[in-house]
Amino acid sequence: MKGFLFFLGSIFRWPVQKTNQFLILHLYFIGIYFLTFLIKNIGLNFSNFILTIGMIAPIGYLICNGLPLDCLDYKSAIKRELKTQN
C-alpha cells in the first residue's frame, strides 16, 4: 500500500515539478489521437495500429534511454527522489 500511495503522490507532483515534460507528453498523445482520427476518416484500415505503436513508443524510448530496472520499487524510487532534493 505504501508503494501505491508513493507512486500516486509522484503522479500528482510530476506536473508541477516538471511542467515542460508533462506538456510535451500530453501534446504527443493529442497528436497521436489526431493522426489516428485523420487516418480513420481517410478510410485506411491501419489506424488502430498507428494508435498502438504511438502509445507504446514513449515506453520504448524510455527503455532505450536507460530506464532503471527497479523503476517500480518504491524504496529505490524514494532514495532517488531524496538524492535529487538534496
Residue 53: inside a domain? yes
Residue 39: inside a domain? yes
* 52 DSSP assignment: H
Residue 74: inside a domain? no
Residue 24: inside a domain? yes
Note down the domain range covering 46: 18-67
Residue 76: inside a domain? no
What pLDDT shows up at residue 13? 82
Confidence of residue 27 (pLDDT cuts 50, 70, 90): very high
What pLDDT shows up at residue 86? 63
Q: Look up the pTM and report it.
A: 0.69
Read off the pLDDT of residues 40-75 as tens digits, 9 standing for 90 and up. Answer: 999 888 888 999 999 999 888 888 888 777 766 778
Number of domains in the chain: 1
Residue 59: inside a domain? yes
Please say whether the dihedral angle defined by the alpha carbons of residues 39, 41, 44 and 49, taken in this order, is positive or negative: positive
